[in-house]
C-alpha cells in the first residue's frame, strides 16, 4: 500500500529521531532503483497474494532486504506449516490439498478451508460437518480455490478461539517485544471469496500478556525460523491458537505482518533500534 496501512505510522517518527530518512514506496511502483536505498523493509504488501510470482521476482532482486529473501520466499505459502510440524513444533493439524486432488474432510466437528497463499481471511470458509450438505459445500469451496490455482489447507476449527481469542507474539531482532489478542473472526458457516473487494476482515485487537506456555512455543518457532540465518530476523509474528493440550501455531508471519506497534509502549522504538543497528552494520 503506497502510504502504508496505518500500522507502521509510529515507526516513521521513531526512525526520524534516530536520523534515519525513510520513504514508503510501493513494491510494484515502476522505475524504482531499490539499490539506492541503504535498507528495504517489507511492510503492507497486501496485494502480493494475487501476484505471487511477480512479487517473488521482486523479492529476489532487492539488495539489503529485510526480512531477507531466503525466509520471505518460502513464507509466502502456508505449506510451511507442514515443515514446522515435521520439525516437531506444535502446529494446528493441516492437510494440504493441491489442485487436481480431493480433500479428505473431517466427519465430525467444525473445520476450515483456506488457500495456502492468502492473507486476511480471503478465500477462507468455515463448515460444520454435522450440518446437511456441509461436505458438498466444502468441496465446492475447494473447487473454487483450485480453479484459482490455489492449494487448499484443511484444518479443524479450534473453538477455544471463540472465547480466548488468538494470540500474536511479535519479535524484533530476536527478542520478544509484545503480544496482542485477536478476537475470533470467522462466523459460523462463513464463506469468503478469494476475489472479494476487502483486503482483510476487520480485526478486534487488544494488548495481551502471553502465557508462559505461549511464549515458550513462540520462542521455539522463532529459533527454528532463524536457525540458518547469519543474523536475527528483523521482525517475526507468531500466531497461536489455544487447545486443551496447549498453544499451537496457526501462522508464522515473516513477510508483511501487521506488527501492532500502537498496542505496546516502546514497540516502534524497539523496531527502529533494530533497523538502526542494521544500518550501522
Q: Catalytic: which of 110, 166, 214, 253?
A: 253
Query: Hey, which residues does 96 pair with through a beta bridge?
Result: 153
Domain count, the chain: 2
**Whether 18 and 114 share a structural domain:** no
Range of the domain at 106: 95-156
**Separation CA 27–CA 221 (nearest Å):** 28
**Whether 151 and 32 share a structural domain:** no
Asked if the structure places residue 175 within a domain, the reply is yes
**Whether 203 and 268 share a structural domain:** yes
Asked if the structure places residue 253 within a domain, the reply is yes
Asked if the structure places residue 119 within a domain, the reply is yes
pLDDT at 195: 54
Domain end: 137, 156, 175, which one? 156
**Whether 151 and 270 share a structural domain:** no
**Whether 240 and 102 share a structural domain:** no
**Separation CA 109–CA 130 (nearest Å):** 7
pLDDT at 43: 95
126 as an active site residue: the answer is no
**Whether 16 and 140 share a structural domain:** no
Domain end: 156, 171, 192, which one? 156
**Whether 135 and 244 share a structural domain:** no
150 as an active site residue: the answer is no
pLDDT at 201: 52
Asked if the structure places residue 58 within a domain, the reply is yes
Cell of residue 107, nine digits? 466427519
Asked if the structure places residue 4 within a domain, the reply is no
**Whether 136 and 226 share a structural domain:** no
**Whether 177 and 43 share a structural domain:** yes
237 as an active site residue: the answer is yes
pTM of model > 0.85: yes
Q: Catalytic: which of 122, 208, 237, 270?
A: 237
**Separation CA 226–CA 235 (nearest Å):** 11
**Separation CA 99–CA 126 (nearest Å):** 20
**Whether 202 and 256 share a structural domain:** yes
Whether the bond between 100 and the residue before it is cis, its omega within 30 degrees of 0, is no
**Whether 256 and 117 share a structural domain:** no
Instruction: Supply the CATH number for residue 125's domain.
Output: 3.30.1490
3-state DSSP of the chain: CCCCCCCCCCHHHHHHHCCCCCCCCCCCCCCCCHHHCCCEECCCCCCHHHCHHHHHHHHHHCCCEECCHHHHHHHCCCCHHHHHHHCCCCECCCEEECCCCCCCCCCCCEEEEEECCCCCCCCCEEEECCCCCHHHHHHHHHHHHHHCCCCEEEEECCCCHHHHCEEEEEEECCEEEEEEEECCCCCCCCECCCCCCCCCCCCCEEECCCCHHHHHHHHHHHHHHHCCCCCCCCEEEEEEECCCCCCEEEEEECCCCCCCHHHCCCHHHHHHHHHHHHHHC
pLDDT lower than 70: segments of the chain? 120, 184-202
Whole-number mean pLDDT of the chain? 92
Q: Catalytic: which of 18, 102, 204, 231?
A: 204
Domain end: 106, 125, 156, which one? 156
**Separation CA 112–CA 138 (nearest Å):** 9
Instruction: Supply the CATH number for residue 181's domain.
Output: 3.30.470.20
CA angle 135, 141, 146 (to 5 degrees): 125
**Whether 142 and 253 share a structural domain:** no
Amino acid at each position: 500500500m503506497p502510504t502504508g496501512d496505518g500500522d507502521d505510522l509510529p515507526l516513521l517518527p521513531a526512525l526520524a529521531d534516530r536520523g534515519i530518512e525513510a520513504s514508503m514506496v510501493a513494491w510494484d511502483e515502476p522505475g524504482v532503483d531499490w539499490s539506492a536505498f541503504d535498507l528495504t523493509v517489507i511492510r503492507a504488501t497486501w496485494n502480493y497474494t494475487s501476484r505471487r510470482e511477480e512479487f517473488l521476482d521482486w523479492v529476489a532482486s532487492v539488495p539489503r532486504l529485510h526480512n531477507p529473501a531466503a525466509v520471505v520466499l518460502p513464507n509466502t505459502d502456508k505449506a510451511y506449516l507442514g515443515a514446522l510440524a515435521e520439525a516437531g513444533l506444535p502446529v494446528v493439524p493441516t492437510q494440504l490439498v493441491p489442485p487436481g486432488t480431493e480433500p479428505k474432510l473431517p466427519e465430525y466437528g467444525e473445520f476450515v478451508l483456506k488457500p495456502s497463499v492468502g492473507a486476511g481471511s480471503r478465500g477462507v470458509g468455515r463448515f460444520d460437518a454435522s450440518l446437511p450438505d456441509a461436505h458438498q459445500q466444502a468441496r465446492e469451496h475447494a473447487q473454487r480455490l483450485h480453479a484459482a490455482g490455489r492449494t487448499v489447507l484443511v484444518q479443524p476449527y479450534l473453538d477455544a478461539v471463540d472465547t480466548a481469542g488468538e494470540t500474536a507474539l511479535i519479535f524484533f531482532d530476536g527478542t520478544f517485544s509484545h503480544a496482542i489478542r485477536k478476537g475470533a473472526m470467522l462466523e459460523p458457516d462463513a464463506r469468503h471469496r478469494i476475489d472479494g473487494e476487502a483486503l482483510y476482515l476487520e480485526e478486534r485487537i487488544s494488548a495481551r500478556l502471553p502465557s508462559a506456555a505461549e511464549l515458550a512455543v513462540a520462542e521455539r518457532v522463532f529459533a527454528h525460523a532463524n536457525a540458518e540465518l547469519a543474523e536475527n530476523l528483523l521482525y517475526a509474528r507468531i500466531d497461536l491458537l489455544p487447545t486443551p493440550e496447549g498453544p499451537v501455531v496457526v501462522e508464522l508471519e515473516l513477510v508483511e505482518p501487521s506488527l501492532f506497534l500502537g498496542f505496546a509502549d516502546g514497540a516502534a522504538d524497539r523496531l527502529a533500534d533494530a533497523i538502526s543497528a542494521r544500518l550501522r552494520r
